[in-house]
């Protein structure tokens, strides 16, 4: 099974930049999208009934053209839901949960904390409360796959210019400590586990020719519960730098059950 995640920075915009062709090349069984920037009535029929996929959507109810996540899946899950039960987070359209029995998949657009201290705290609260929710499932023996735009680079290897960004949200010590804590609680960053020394990024600013110069950040992840690594279910993890159309590129994992 091949699962991909991609922050498209506007689904309507990326459709004009070769989205259909890119998905055909990548050939995912499940495709998780973040930052769709859509309301329910703004979706085209092509978006809803894309190729042979079932589609699942979550929207921001706070304002239009903001946030939003979607999942395209070839196989229908046993159950699906949006959000994780806390209204201040769920109204921003950031979480889709799909239960496939053997595993539970979360597609998440984690908040950005760069606007001000209030949004930084919102981001930290979101991390805390979501992973409390995830821990409850994991403690029941469920295998979890958590993917999306985490909006945080974990370590210096994960961004081009760590020193000049150490006081910027996205690489603050308090945010990086959260990822340390997640790992200590039994989750594995699949790409870094399999490729501990590989320098590869998943997001580049639109300014300063950042993508051309590969001055990027790795902020898009697949975290899994450690049982999926121990049982060698996760066969590979990858970052598809060659896929364009957004300021992010897709990331993915290969699974064998």
CA distance 83 to 47: 21
Residue 214's pLDDT is what?
97
CATH, residue 238: 3.60.10.10
pTM greater than 0.95 (yes/no): yes
Q: What value does the mean pLDDT take over residues 28-50? A: 97
* pLDDT for residue 48 is more than 90: yes
Domain extent at residue 188 = 2-255
Q: How many domains does the chain have?
A: 1
The secondary element (H helix, E strand) that includes residue 106 is strand 104-109
pLDDT band at 222; cut points 50, 70, 90:
very high
pLDDT band at 12; cut points 50, 70, 90:
very high
Catalytic residue among 58, 99, 125, 149: 149
Q: What value does the mean pLDDT take over residues 209-216? A: 97
Q: Which two tokens stand for residue 257?
A: 């059950």
Residue 46's pLDDT is what?
96
Residue 153's pLDDT is what?
98
CB 187 within 8 A of CB 193: no
User: Is 149 a known active-site residue?
Assistant: yes
CA distance 209 to 187: 34
Conformation bin of residue 214: beta by default, left when phi > 0, alpha when psi is -120 to 50? left
CA distance 169 to 103: 32
CA distance 89 to 83: 7
CA distance 168 to 148: 20
* pLDDT for residue 63 is more than 90: no
Q: What is the mean pLDDT of the chain?
A: 97
Q: What angle do CA 205, 211, 212 make, to 5 degrees?
A: 140
Residue 159's pLDDT is what?
98
Q: What value does the mean pLDDT take over residues 216-242? A: 98
Residue 154's pLDDT is what?
98
Residue 169's pLDDT is what?
98
CB 58 within 8 A of CB 94: yes
Cα–chain center distance at 251: 9
CA distance 170 to 150: 9
**How many Cβ atoms are within 10 Å of 169's Cβ, its own excluded?**
20
């Amino acid at each position: 099974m091949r699962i991909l995640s991609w922050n498209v920075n506007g689904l309507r915009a990326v459709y004009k930049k070769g989205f259909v062709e890119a998905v055909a090349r990548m050939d995912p069984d499940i495709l998780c999208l973040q930052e769709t920037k859509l309301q329910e009535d703004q979706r085209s029929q092509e978006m809803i009934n894309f190729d042979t996929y079932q589609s699942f959507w979550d929207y921001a109810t706070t304002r239009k053209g903001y946030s939003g996540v979607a999942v395209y899946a070839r196989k229908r899950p046993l159950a699906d839901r949006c959000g994780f039960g806390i209204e201040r987070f769920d109204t921003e359209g950031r979480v889709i949960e799909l239960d496939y029995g053997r595993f539970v998949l979360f597609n998440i657009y984690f908040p950005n904390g760069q606007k001000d201290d209030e949004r930084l705290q919102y981001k930290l609260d979101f991390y805390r409360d979501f992973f409390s929710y995830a821990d409850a499932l994991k403690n029941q023996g469920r295998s979890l796959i958590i993917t999306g735009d985490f909006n945080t680079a974990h370590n210096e290897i994960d961004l081009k210019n760590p020193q000049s960004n150490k006081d910027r949200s996205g690489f603050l010590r308090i945010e990086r400590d959260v990822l340390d804590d997640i790992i200590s609680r039994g989750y594995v960053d699949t790409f870094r586990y399999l490729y501990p020394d590989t320098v590869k990024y998943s997001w580049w600013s639109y300014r300063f020719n950042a993508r051309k110069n590969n001055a990027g950040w790795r902020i898009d992840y697949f975290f899994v519960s450690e049982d999926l690594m121990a049982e060698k279910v996760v066969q590979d993890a990858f970052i598809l730098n060659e896929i364009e159309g957004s300021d992010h590129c897709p990331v993915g994992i290969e699974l064998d059950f």
